[in-house]
Structure 1
């Protein structure tokens, strides 16, 4: 039996990168794979607090990232030496594992927003992670293969790390098409009633925790221009981020047309009520929420980042827009003008082509290819791309 260990600080639904590991774990288990975990608990860091809002939350995040990058690396390597039969996938922080999944490039995110050197310099955690990852990508013994989520991310990786010493492959994320599905008419009516939406009102949904990088200020301006029949609901963000954004003049100008719901592990109640998901990000390594929205039959208006160019089709299941308030407003208006039944069906059809079952099998093929039969060289060794 094949045994795979996933190395990442946490694993579970609604945990960002940890949710990817969670879905892969479920699908591999269905395929008869023995799946193990190496998380913060196995790295001896269970005592570290969960990041919350404010300064304490930021310090907790720093502690967890640094611990898993250092102590976690040492303990993960020790575990792998003790279990040479296990194939390994690293999703975050630790510099250990056969395969490293590139879930995002901090330097690329900073460059996309401008003044990247200043942004990096004023955040010690960003300096730490970029230095760590320069070592990760320039050394041949750290990993055996890098998985990028989209082709554009692979291009950025090679631009930022011209001394890249590892072979790479592109494997996108998936979506749980059973859990994320279009609501029944009754479910949609109930979800909209709980949000106090009138029958004539159209709801724009934003889901994300990094308001600046993900373009929320631009979206607020765009919704302001769309008129009184359009409301914006924001799911995500720490309490301090929400407080800052809600206190801005642009947010105040929207009045009761803007609602901050806070962070929630399950976005489905809001997706059931939404008419469109807006994601005008400056940078995304993938953008899993895009697939989750499409799976729920919600069209997407987004900038051409992450998976968006591959899954969003103008006038069919959404719109790809420029990162300006005018461009976002035009995109939302054009999608809201589409025939609802057709656009929701097209959104669902797109998502069904990206199930986690398909993605898990792709990973399994790559992982088993890393272990050649005796005397046979692996095709993925020595610079395959």
Structure 2
């Protein structure tokens, strides 16, 4: 078997590209031949990298449009020359035996409210929705993988004319890279994160502050003096908005803005909990990464959270309101040493059931059926 993966980028720490990267590594360990088709192979390496501000958003739009159009043509030509190759597409391109549904833009906008306004103010959302309507209703792929059962159900609601079989295969986590710290490592990480002695340290990881509910977390923590928050992610413009909110709340001394980082592990090692009160998630990798590090999770019941968070055991599922998030934070702060140790142990045990080796085999089973 030879597998070609299609994604704009493939590599660790690149979101969707990281999923393709881990699958590639596991398949290669099993002796499966793999290949890539990326934006560079589609001739788009000249396009600027996305960033902050209007220019950054335009750069992202250009890359999506290029990979959706030129990438589709070139990927189809490549697959036509290699009829024995099985292909897995992760983003944009309208080609491949299997398409991995990493998220539904329309569902994400609807979950956040003001659906029509959110869609129309960003032409890229409209383009993506139309493109995916073509994808799902014309039999472009032979099978579609959704990351959770709820995402599969959402796919059927939004694209009722779905013409191909669907499967549910969740993302995995590198349980060797994301591991619980020793007590010494944890103490050192908390010092480096500037966590005061005895404080409850809650970490937020993500780049889409609005959708992932950062403002809810900060407002909930404002009423809990023992809770300190570290925000990992965001552009300079986004962080400037956060600083203005903190000034109004009067909590700047309890919130550390780490900005965009290549590796969230130093902050997870220093955390008592990860907070992710999202409006919508297809499958947030950081939830599994936190659990693998032995960090309980406070999350809304969207995406992967209901599948892996056992409420009150390895985390808490909360309402997407300030009061709901505050309830979860209070539960974390109320844990004594023994209860926190039990929650951390349960978190790690959960993550071990979702390692990339298990996930990669599920994809191989699906591809072998197609072959």
Q: TM class by shorter-chain length?
A: over 0.9
User: What count of residue pairs does the alignment treat as equivalent?
Assistant: 368
| d(CA) in 2 for partners of 1:248, 1:347 | 32
The equivalences for 1:228-267 within 5 A come to: 229-248=226-245, 253-267=250-264
Shift of 1:252: 5.0
Q: Does the CA-based 8 Å contact 2:246-2:252 persist in structure 1?
A: no
Match of 2:130 in 1: 131
1:23 aligns to 2:22 (yes or no): yes
Which residue pairs with 1:193 in the alignment? 191
Structure 1 segments unaligned to the other structure (5+ residues): 372-385
| 1:363 and 2:363 are equivalent in the alignment | yes
What residue is the counterpart of 1:216 in the other structure?
A: 214
Superposed CA deviations along residues 313-338 of structure 1, whole A, max 9, x for unmatched, are: 11110100000111111112113323
Contact 1:101 1:148 in 2 (8 A): yes
1-structure distance, mates of 2:347, 2:248: 30
Match for residue 100 of structure 2? 101
Structure 1 residues 155, 173: closer, same or farther in 2, change over 3 A? same
Aligned to 2:159: 161
Residue 273 of structure 1 pairs with residue 270 of structure 2: yes
1:314 aligns with 2:311: yes
**1:102, 1:67 → 2: CA distance?**
19
Distance 1:250 1:159, change over 3 A: farther
What's the secondary structure of 1:213's corresponding residue? helix
- Structural RMSD (CA): 1.0
Residue range with higher mean Cα deviation, 50-59 or 240-249:
240-249
What is the CA–CA distance in structure 2 between the aligned matches of 1:331 and 1:111, rounded to whole Å?
25
CA distance in 2, matches of 1:212, 1:290: 18
Assess if the C-alpha contact under 8 Å between 1:293 and 1:300 holds in 2: yes
Q: 1:44-63, aligned counterparts within 5 Å?
A: 44-63=43-62
User: Which residue does the alignment assign to 2:347?
Assistant: 347
Offset at residue 340 of structure 1 (A): 1.4
TM-score (norm 1): 0.94
- 1:202 matched to 2:200: yes
Cα distance in structure 1, aligned partners of 2:311 and 2:128: 36
Displacement after TM superposition at 1:287 (Å): 1.1
Which segments of 5 or more consecutive residues in structure 2 lack a partner in the other structure?
none
Normalising by structure 2, we get a TM-score of 0.98
Note closer, same or farther for the CA distance 1:28–1:125 as it changes in structure 2 (3 Å cut): same
**Contact kept in structure 2, 1:202 and 1:275, CA below 8 Å:** yes
In 1, Cα distance between equivalents of 2:24 and 2:55: 32
Q: Contact 2:99/2:141 (CA < 8 Å) preserved in 1?
A: yes
CA distance in 1, matches of 2:111, 2:10: 29
Say whether the 8 Å CA contact 1:174–1:354 is kept in structure 2: yes
SS of residue in 1 equivalent to 2:211: coil
Offset at residue 245 of structure 1 (A):
2.1
Distance 1:315 1:251, change over 3 A: farther
Counterpart of 2:325 (choices 322, 325, 328) is 328
Q: CA deviation at 1:226?
A: 1.4
> What secondary structure, in the 3-state scheme, does the structure 2 residue paired with 1:173 have?
coil
How far the C-alpha of 1:194 sits from its partner, in A, is 0.8
Contact 1:13 1:265 (8 Å CA) reproduced: no
- After TM superposition, where is structure 1 displaced by more than 6 Å over at least 4 residues in a row? none
**Greater shift in the superposed pair: 333-342 or 323-332:** 333-342
- Give the structure 2 partner of residue 184 of structure 1: 182
Tell me the CA shift for residue 242 of structure 1. 1.3
What secondary structure does 1:335 align onto? Answer: helix
SS in 2 for 1:4: strand
Distance 1:75 1:18, change over 3 A: same
The answer to whether the 8 A contact 2:6-2:38 is kept is yes
Contact 2:86 2:367 in 1 (8 A): yes
Q: 1:122 to 1:16 in 2, by over 3 A?
A: same
Which residue of 2 is the match for residue 4 of structure 1? 3
Alignment partners' CA distance in 1, 2:257 and 2:164: 43
